[in-house]
């Protein structure tokens, strides 16, 4: 049996994709906001429940363009967390801004609102919280803090495609919070366009500006009004998105079956902690993290990682090391300032999770975990 990896890209039937890309071979229009790109933009606005959206080449560039759009003062501080993929911090730093790290909450690995205010200084310009594993941040409190201090909020929503939050009795899409929200449509995400992303905006003017920024700041053949990169999504990616979007609801349902199997099998394993499922959310089951307490379980996280690998199951340690422990940031920041993030990163394993994994395989993986503990 070949190794089962932490995830596997969702893909349509080949024939469905071929049908979708056929017109491109007639028109020869394969990038720069072509027909497929425009169709995907409209369909995603509807699916995600956001008023405006601009597609990008990947999730990272969505974050950088969002920061550029807000025109934040160079050198300004952006409060974020170190429990994320390196992209979040790189986007801040590459934009000439300074990341300031606040700790996370034990219950869902997202930024702890109680830790945000103590990090605010006269140089703070924005907050960049990250929805983690499909769990949404405490958007209400973050919004209150931002309003009180006049700060912008850009959500890194890379993990929350399709997630909806019960907000004052109404379901609201995860991309509709903050000043801007950014998705990743990378191959490893719940919804993919191979590589891709989007910035969700509250106003049409913002979306138009992102559209302008993602194309070198070109307005027309003779006008360039901003110094910005090429971050456009091509037509083949848009076609993959159109196909995958047709199936994403059933993919999420299948992920739920995997999630439910894991939860059933792992609920009472001493020393293996699961995050609670959020009841005020429609979840997307993007990842399945487990947290290993070596003393109680009897085996360390790293040993369990190796045991799973020997049994043909590839887990990952998302997000270990935390950003402030990576070579490029460790001399500038002190991880001891975010002890919860440091502790959780040292114990986390994200075990295989994708639609076609199936409940039976999930039970097998859980059995390996159960049988090696105390
Ligand atoms: N913010 C957050 C919170 C993020 O998590 C990410 C991306 C971003 C921002 C930036 O968005 P993008 O610019 O990437 O759109 C992966 C992804 O490359 C990355 O997109 C993702 N987060 C991160 C959490 O995971 P790696 O280095 O772990 O990927 P890799 O190549 O080891 O793949 C993981 C597994 O996925 C493989 O074991 C098998 C499966 N896979 C992978 C690829 C590339 C497939 O099934 N098909 C594939 O094509 O970073």
Task: Let me know whether 217 and 275 are in one domain.
Answer: no
Q: What are the C-alpha distances in Å from 50 to residues 14, 238, 359?
A: 30, 18, 33
Percent with pLDDT over 90 in the chain: 99
Task: Let me know whether 214 and 290 are in one domain.
Answer: no
Query: Which residue has its alpha carbon closest to ligand 1 atom 17?
Result: 188
Give the nearest ligand 1 atom to 185 CA. Answer: 15
Ligand 1 centre and the CA of 124: distance in Å?
30
Ligand 1 centre and the CA of 186: distance in Å?
6
Domain end marker among 197, 227, 243: 243
**Residue 85's domain is classified under what CATH number?**
3.40.640.10
Domain end marker among 243, 266, 285: 243
Indicate whether 5 belongs to any domain. Answer: no
Task: Let me know whether 37 and 135 are in one domain.
Answer: yes
Query: Which residue has its alpha carbon closest to ligand 1 atom 20?
Result: 186
Task: Let me know whether 256 and 151 are in one domain.
Answer: no
Indicate whether 238 belongs to any domain. Answer: yes
**Residue 264's domain is classified under what CATH number?**
3.90.1150.10
Indicate whether 1 belongs to any domain. Answer: no
Domain end marker among 189, 213, 243: 243
Ligand 1 centre and the CA of 185: distance in Å?
10
Indicate whether 200 belongs to any domain. Answer: yes
- pLDDT, tens only, 332-357: 999 999 999 999 999 999 999 999 99
Question: Residue 83 half-sphere exposure, CB side, CA atoms within 13 Å?
Answer: 27
Give the tokens for residue 252: 């999420």
Q: Judging by beta carbons within 10 Å of its beta carbon (0-12, 13-18, 19+), is residue 360 exposed, middle or buried?
A: exposed
Give the tokens for residue 120: 């605010």
Q: What is the SS3 assignment for 130?
A: strand
Task: Let me know whether 43 and 148 are in one domain.
Answer: yes
Give the nearest ligand 1 atom to 8 CA. Answer: 46
Task: Let me know whether 89 and 221 are in one domain.
Answer: yes
Which pLDDT score, from 0 to 100, does residue 2 have? 66
Indicate whether 234 belongs to any domain. Answer: yes
Contact 349, 305 (CB under 8 A): yes
Task: Let me know whether 123 and 230 are in one domain.
Answer: yes
Place of tokens 């360390």: 300
The residues that bridge with 77 in the sheet, in sequence order, are 98, 124
Ligand 1, CB cutoff 6 Å, lining residues? 5-9, 58-60, 84-85, 87-88, 130, 156, 158-159, 184, 186-188, 197, 314, 318
Which DSSP state fits 224? E
- pLDDT, tens only, 188-239: 999 999 999 999 999 999 999 999 999 999 999 999 999 999 999 999 999 9
Indicate whether 210 belongs to any domain. Answer: yes
Backbone torsions φ then ψ of 146, nearest 5 degrees: -60, -45
> Does the predicted TM-score (pTM) go above 0.95?
yes
Ligand 1 centre and the CA of 122: distance in Å?
36
Query: Which residue has its alpha carbon closest to ligand 1 atom 30?
Result: 188
Task: Let me know whether 41 and 83 are in one domain.
Answer: yes
Query: Distance (Å, rounded) from C-alpha 12 to C-alpha 340?
Result: 40
The CB density around residue 335, as the number of other CB atoms within 10 Å, is 18
| Sequence-ordered strand ranges (E) for the chain | 52-56, 77-80, 98-101, 124-127, 152-156, 164-167, 170-173, 180-184, 197-201, 218-220, 223-224, 272-274, 281-282, 288-292, 348-351
Give the nearest ligand 1 atom to 58 CA. Answer: 15
Taking all residues of the chain, what is their mean pLDDT, rounded to a whole number? 97
Query: Distance (Å, rounded) from C-alpha 81 to C-alpha 184?
Result: 18
Q: What is the SS3 assignment for 154?
A: strand
**E strand or H helix at 11:** none
Task: Let me know whether 48 and 175 are in one domain.
Answer: yes
Ligand 1 centre and the CA of 121: distance in Å?
34
Q: How many residues does the chain have?
A: 374
Query: Which residue has its alpha carbon closest to ligand 1 atom 35?
Result: 7
Indicate whether 4 belongs to any domain. Answer: no
Task: Let me know whether 258 and 191 are in one domain.
Answer: no
Q: What are the C-alpha distances in Å from 118 to residues 79, 101, 113, 357?
A: 10, 11, 10, 43
Which DSSP state fits 328? T
Task: Let me know whether 78 and 199 are in one domain.
Answer: yes
Task: Let me know whether 191 and 251 are in one domain.
Answer: no
Contact 326, 101 (CB under 8 A): no
The count of structural domains within the chain is 2
Which DSSP state fits 259? H
Give the distance, in angstroms, between the CA of residue 83 and the centroid of all CA atoms in the same chain. 12
Q: Which residue range(s) make up the domain with 149?
A: 14-243
Which pLDDT score, from 0 to 100, does residue 374 have? 85
Query: Distance (Å, rounded) from C-alpha 114 to C-alpha 145?
Result: 10
Ligand 1 centre and the CA of 248: distance in Å?
18
Ligand 1 centre and the CA of 146: distance in Å?
30
Indicate whether 187 belongs to any domain. Answer: yes
List, for the chain, all residue ranges whose pLDDT scores fall below the cut of 70: 1-2
């Amino acid at each position: 049996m070949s190794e089962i990896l932490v995830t596997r890209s969702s893909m349509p039937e080949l024939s469905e994709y071929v049908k979708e890309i056929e017109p491109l071979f007639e028109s020869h229009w394969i990038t720069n906001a072509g027909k497929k790109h425009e169709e995907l933009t409209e369909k995603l606005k509807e699916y995600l429940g956001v008023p405006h959206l601009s597609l990008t080449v990947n999730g990272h560039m969505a974050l950088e363009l969002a920061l550029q759009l807000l025109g934040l003062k160079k050198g300004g501080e952006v409060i974020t967390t170190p429990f994320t993929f390196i992209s979040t911090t790189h986007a801040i730093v590459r934009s000439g801004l300074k990341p300031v790290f606040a700790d996370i909450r034990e219950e869902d690995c997202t930024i702890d609102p109680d830790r945000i205010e103590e990090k605010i200084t006269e140089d703070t310009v924005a907050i960049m919280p990250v929805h983690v594993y499909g769990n949404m941040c405490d958007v209400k409190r973050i919004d209150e803090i931002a309003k009180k201090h006049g700060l912008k909020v850009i959500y890194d929503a890379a993990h929350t495609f399709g997630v909806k939050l019960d907000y004052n009795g109404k379901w609201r899409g995860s991309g509709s919070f903050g000043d801007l929200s950014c998705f990743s449509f990378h191959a490893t995400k719940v919804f993919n366009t191979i590589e891709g992303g989007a910035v969700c905006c509250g106003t049409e003017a913002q979306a138009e500006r992102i559209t302008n920024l993602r194309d070198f700041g070109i307005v027309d053949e003779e006008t360039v009004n901003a110094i910005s990169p090429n971050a456009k999504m091509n037509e083949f990616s848009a076609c993959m998105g159109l196909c995958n979007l047709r199936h994403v609801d059933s993919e999420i349902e299948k992920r739920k079956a995997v999630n439910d199997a894991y939860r059933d099998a792992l609920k009472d394993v001493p020393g293996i902690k699961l995050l609670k499922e959020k009841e005020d959310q429609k979840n997307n089951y993007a990842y399945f993290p487990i947290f290993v307490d070596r003393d109680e379980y009897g085996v360390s996280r790293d040993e369990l990682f190796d045991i799973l690998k020997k049994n043909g199951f590839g887990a990952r340690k998302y997000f270990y090391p935390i950003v402030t422990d990576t070579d490029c940031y460790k001399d500038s920041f002190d991880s001891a300032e975010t002890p919860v993030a440091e502790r959780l990163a040292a114990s986390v394993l994200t075990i295989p999770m994708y639609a076609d994994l199936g409940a039976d395989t999930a039970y097998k993986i859980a059995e390996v975990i159960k049988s090696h503990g105390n």
